[in-house]
Amino acid sequence: MPATIRARLFTPQDVCRWAIAPCLALGLAMGLTACAEAPPADDPEAVAEFKELNDPLEPTNRFFYVIYDRVDTYVLEPIARAYRNVVPVPVRTGVSNALSNLNTPVKLGNDILEGKPRRAGDTTMRFLINSTVGVLGVFDVATGWGYGKHDADFGLTLGHWGVPDGPYLFLPVVGPSGTRDLTGFAVDTVGDPFMWVGQGTAVKTLGWTRFYVDAINARERALDPVESIKKTALDPYATFRSLYRQYREGQLTKLRDDNRATVPVWFPQMAGQEINPPSR
Amino acid sequence: MLHRRAFLLLTSTFTMSGLLTGRMAAFAQGTDRATAFVKATGDKLVAVVNGPGTAEAKRRDLTTIIDAAIDVDGVGRFCLGRFWRQASPEQQKHYLELFHKVLVTSVTAKLGEYQGVKLTIGRTRQQEEEQIVSTVVERPNNPPTTVDWVITQPTSAPRIIDVVAEGTSLRITQRSDYAAYLQRNGNSIDALIGAMRQQAAQNI
């Protein structure tokens, strides 16, 4: 990293302006010229497949995938591997838990927007228990106490509201996404109170530390699956695209199916109604 | 007249309910069998994975279990999608042979690295002709993963036709991989077979 950049510490806000915006502009500019070619209309099966893939910017996306893959192979993956080799498992788990605890405001906001009171309750209880008994979120005590983890972000919220996932996007820094999930990512980033709290070098340093540790932690957790996909897939780009879409759809199904009742335990229940069905 | 109508109504109700209970019983039997099958197969897999044995011995045992439990040819046809019909019988034969090799090596390689696996059987549900058995797989230092096993019973013996981990289906992912490869290689099935051959040679 050049000294001029290091001298001035950025907040994650700046990341958007500094890294994502120019890349997006480049991507869009390329997108205007490099669109995926639609198959001929006399091959209905190929046309159906093309529509289902919903990847009109495929050449641009593949271009970014290649860059991402290089950066990953030479920078991210070695760092993640070193992190795995040097830091013992309990510490890594603690780091992961603490990061997830810091994400509470964003998660809670989305639980509420999704209209899932039980999930919002879980998130609140998890934060209260893990921040205190769990020592600033390092230990996940709440799961054992019946307040399990779940996923919530604005992309899922939009999906729950009926917004389709939209064309697939592969972006620098962000990785696999889609128009809906990219919107969600932007809203979550801007909506995170930690982004707006405090000023000065200390806060900026903390913000950056969180950003980097988050990235390394996420990459470490993905080491094995990514390695096996890169080894076994004939077209890793397409495999990641398929996996990403399916995984998001799976999260959405889980969210939709989580209709636990909010009635208190002592309230007379209808016969056969489960009071506390598991969230998983 | 009234008697006759009442009689007809009564008999039809009986037949209907008879049919319904028959169907329900068949369904219950099917799901029970699917659950038992997944439990038996899962237990066998877990026993091998967690057992002592060398990597090589484990791989051999896993191959035997997978061969018996998974409908490899069915999955292979599914993964080739619309290209299956376009392929010549010769290509189909080559493709299935290689598919079998690639699938078995990738599954055994993945499972072979695991240790201390715990499998809990959950609910079973019917989806069209298939039964889906939900399980939770737990590994040390990993969050629990929901794995759905899709079971088909074309004849009497249940077979696995898909494994869905956290919403990601093995066969759908594989199919999109092949489809993308074919699309970028002029829809040539021979090119795909060539790539698979290279892959099978690398993995062994």
Give the C-alpha separation, A93 to B140, whole Å. 11
Whether residues B184 and A251 touch (CB distance < 8 A) is answered with no
Dist. CA A90–CA A88, nearest whole Å? 6
Helix or strand run (H / E) with residue A219: helix A200-221
For residue A204, give how far its alpha carbon lies from the nearest alpha carbon of chain B (Å).
31
Domains of chain B, residue spans: 2-202
Contact (CB<8Å) A235/B184: yes
Residue B138 CB partners (closer than 8 Å, separation 6+): B117, B118, B119, B120, B144, B145
CA angle A223, B80, B161 (to 5 degrees): 70
Q: How far apart are the CA of A94 and the nearest CA of chain B, in angstroms? A: 11
Would you list which residues of chain A are within 8 Å, Cβ to Cβ, of chain B?
A: 45, 49, 53, 89, 93, 149, 224, 228, 232-235, 237-239, 241-243, 246-247, 249-251, 253-254, 280
Does the distance separating the beta carbons of B141 and A89 come in below 8 Å?
Answer: yes
Bridge partners (DSSP) listed for residue B70: B160
How deeply is B18 buried, as exposed, middle or buried, from its count of CB atoms within 10 A (0-12, 13-18, 19+)?
A: exposed
What pLDDT, in 10s, does the model give residues A126-174? 999 999 999 999 999 999 999 999 999 999 999 999 999 999 999 988 8
CB within 8 A of A228, min separation 6: which ones? B106, B109, B110
Residue written as token pair 């500019």: A29
The complex's ipTM? Answer: 0.79
More confident residue, A32 or B56: B56
Judged by average pLDDT, the poorest of A78-87, A176-185, B33-42, B181-190 is B33-42
**Using one digit for the tens of pLDDT, what is the confidence trace for A247-263?**
999 999 999 999 988 87
Read off the tokens for B203: 């993995």
Q: How many CB pairs under 8 A join A and B?
A: 63
Partners of residue B173 in chain A, C-beta under 8 Å: 239, 242-243, 246
DSSP A15-70: HIIIIIHHHHHHHHHHHHH-PPPPPPTT-HHHHHHHHHHT-TTHHHHHHHHHHHHH
The residue assigned the tokens 């099935």 is B189
Closest residue on chain B to A224 (Cα) = B110
**Which residue in this structure is represented by tokens 């039809």?**
B12
With beta carbons under 8 A apart, name residues in chain A contacting B107: none
Least confident range of A5-19, A59-73, A100-114: A5-19
CB proximity list for A258: less than 8 A, separation 6 or greater: A116, A118, A119, A150, A279
Which pLDDT tens digit goes with each residue over B92-151? 999 999 999 888 888 877 776 778 888 999 888 888 888 899 999 988 877 888 999 999
A17: which residues sit within 8 A by CB, 6+ positions away?
none
The CATH superfamily holding the domain B2-202 is: Tgt2/MlaC (3.10.450.710)
